[in-house]
Amino acid sequence: MVKKIKILAPLSSSDETEGLIAAGADELFCGVLSENWQKSYSNLACANVRYWKKANLSGMDELKKVVDTAAKSKVNVILVSNNRYTPLQYKSLIREFSQAVKIGIKGVIVADIKLINALKKEFPGLLLYISTANESFNSESAKLFKELGADKITFPEQFSLGEIKKLVKANPEVEFEIFVLNDACKNIDGFCTFVCGGIEEFKEKNYSELVYRSAPCFFDYKINLFKKSSGKINESGINDAVRSGFMLHNAEKNCAACYLKDFLDMGLTNIKIAGRYHSKNSKIKDTLFISTLVKFIENNKCTSAEYRKFARSLFKTTYKFDCGRRLCYYKL
């Protein structure tokens, strides 16, 4: 029996729940930036690496609305908690998790190894998804996370298709998940110490704009050269290269939709749409795009080439421009 592809879709407001489920989401993931957490640690120490309010639910009351609505359609809600924490923050986190588990969340996206152990001990029935904020680049790390109790491991965005296939084949006992849309970044999540936005909200509580462009990846870098060299150095060229190297890819629609059939053929059936801070309409459009492709695969016996032709056509119909290699998450 062929496994069904499962779609994990992003959410940041309770009024998005029904639309995302109707669009084809099998699971929903969300973060909470509660008033108590902000008062204690500020949004720059957000528990889920999305440091602005628009990317998060406002608190446990809103989380309950999401969970109750999703439960009617038997859709799981997964809470994001993929930062690393101080000992004092652990106590606050466990309190929030206790509330969230009572509300009915089914799992947590987590990076902190100590938190993995704590969650397994405190909430043994909770599903644990390893975030890209704790990268798994090889079989040994995948086996380690599995031994620690991970139910699913998310692939880094920098892998090639060959590397993905090799790791899935070498670890049949491990369940993997992979990004298919939005927010690809040249920086490796697990090694990056940048703060991804939220600076404006930290300075001004009522700031209402989309603030992810305050991330250091968007800064205009100026490089000073200290190393002596006998040759002539093109300093402006170096500055341009550094600036372009740090720019996020998410100025356009990053995508791996062309590879859904390849993923399924590998045995990789868990796919994730990024973009918690995107608009409601954008999230629903993205989820409908991916779910339409999943249905096409399920309902048609087609080659990878035939599937890609359909996927690229649907991409253009959906987003009104052609996809291109510069937008691809994973290279061949």
Q: Hey, how many other C-beta atoms are within 10 angstroms of the C-beta on 89? A: 18
Q: Average model confidence (pLDDT) for the chain?
A: 82
- The pairs formed by 291-299 with CB atoms below 8 angstroms and a separation of 24 or more are 291/7, 291/23, 291/24, 291/25, 292/24, 293/257, 293/260, 294/5, 294/7, 294/24, 294/260, 295/24, 297/5, 297/260, 297/261, 297/264, 298/4, 298/5
pLDDT of residue 184: 67
Closest by Cα among 130, 180, 128, 173 to 330: 180
When pLDDT is averaged across residues 160-184 and rounded to a whole number, the result is 90
Q: Where are the domains of the chain?
A: 6-192+253-327
8 A C-beta contact, residue 189 and residue 133:
yes
pLDDT at 107: 96
CATH 3.20.20.70 fits 6-192+253-327, yes or no: yes
Global pTM value: 0.83
Q: What is the pLDDT of residues 235-271, one digit of tens each?
A: 666 556 555 555 444 445 788 999 999 999 999 999 9
More confident residue, 214 or 91: 91
Do 130 and 110 contact (CB within 8 A), yes or no? Answer: yes
What band does 108 get if pLDDT is binned at 50, 70 and 90? very high
